[in-house]
Structure 1
């Protein structure tokens, strides 16, 4: 069955324009995600390009052949740019203009301008080149995208393969033959328009889905992150801490909990201002991050209070880590030596079991003891017993 080409041309223009306007609308009203802006631009350029190439054979061949294909190549470049920006890279202006520049340069050669098979093959290779670049953007960023990008990748690969096939099989079809449905290239031309519409609709849908998924991930991350220090908050600590404790209990691995409280924090705020107090909290968060392993769970659970679960750690190892943290924080040059200090209470699952609430309660008691004994120290449950055993 041969699709009616004049109808396909009209429908494709309206589909491209409508999808472009809807995508731009989504960018303006909802997310302000730049990939949607580039994708909307791609679709609107495609609509304009189809209108211009439809003028071929009507006394506007220069406009149709040169400008129309330039617009379509810029549209393909915008598709690549949309995915490039989504992957976290900046637009490549030379790359965007390269396809259009090559086309304009070749059109200045009379032999190329007059040869339709050469034009069709060259345009298809340039379009396939942008498709290949888009595919590479997905593959380069597959470990960092954190969204379901596979549908977009499959659509792009199929679209690219289509233009690769076209570059070696399509000899071109004069527009008058296309409009009358005569000529051997009519079925391929019809399928090309149909494929383009399917690709535009598909890539718009999956890109919107990826943008939405990433926005949801960001909202979830924000809900579990302390906005000042950038580390986890109490909600994250309770959720992930309980999960890790269950895993360790199942494997019979010891876990240690460190409860840290910055000393004289109110006095620090009153004397030097809240800005410096915030800087002290941020600095302590960095000290903790540098001192811990990837598998450990760490968060700011209160004003100047931080907690950490050390996986597969006994009391001796936990005290060593706590002392390293205490010393690193006291040596920071944020204030004069001696003005920054932290008290740390330490407990392990050996004494308190694998219940996180109980661990926090026992660690708080040890922290209170560290405060009562002069601050700037580590106090651990069961440490005295361990020392006696070693003696």
Structure 2
């Protein structure tokens, strides 16, 4: 059970009516930029689509209903590393045997929202066409500076530090061994959990292979790896301006994005469209309500600046950390609509690769875009590792 220093507090955020009225006032007073005729999304966010989204946000979007829906997830806060950390902790429903503890790690621009659809599928697979024996105890923390977790007031935390916090969180919750999974920055956090806590992480599942980094004296890249390196460089030149801003001058962008809800929506919705498997129509992957729920979490918590600062922290991670090989059993689901999928040779070079699948549908936000398929990917990958985490043949306490 948690000790006094790690007291768990149930958490259900409430939004003051004045905050919603201020939001509507700002939305209705948006000062719109001009745009070249028929520019569409070619130069960034389509201003015509954004106007439509902002009009709906001001006069049609029902935030209390969305907040109530999110409240169905069992959510808590706890002090870790001097910060208040918000997390979902959903226990398995009627599992056929011990449940596997699993920490799910989100990325940017999102939060626990990324996994809000998939949590019930993992905790109660029997009710969703799966095998009850594949049930998980699911933990989904908001990283510091994201969502409802505290914003660090000093230096931002990098992925290594966050992985350390999550190892502590799983200990507080009574899980000596567990699985880890994630995408985007959450993939990096999952990687460092496996690197720095291999005695606790039974297996790690990721949706990407990170960015290229080779240690001195490493074998020469294969032709497939070299082609991928070139693809990454080309993508960075054409699509990476947001990341350069986050890594170098996040406070400059944070001023406008924290002050203007339309600007915040523009910054986020362009990435939801570009990185999802939507064929250019963002509402093929996300409804307006879903888009705005994600944006609202950033708006109400004022965390767009603090979330961007994590890029600045990660940019300072020493190269020696970036080239460490993961020896914990590693699995990857590379969804067909995602960006920059690495070749198998790279995954074998950098991890103890035991599983690789390539679902045809789904993009960067696959847990939200294709929750049923993502849940099945996790069930299949972690199935051989359940005994190692749940203590069959040994003592295991879930803290129940």
TM-score (norm 1): 0.23
**RCO higher in 1 or 2 (8 Å CA, sep ≥ 6)?**
2
- Structure (1 or 2) with the greater strand fraction: 2
Larger-Rg structure: 1
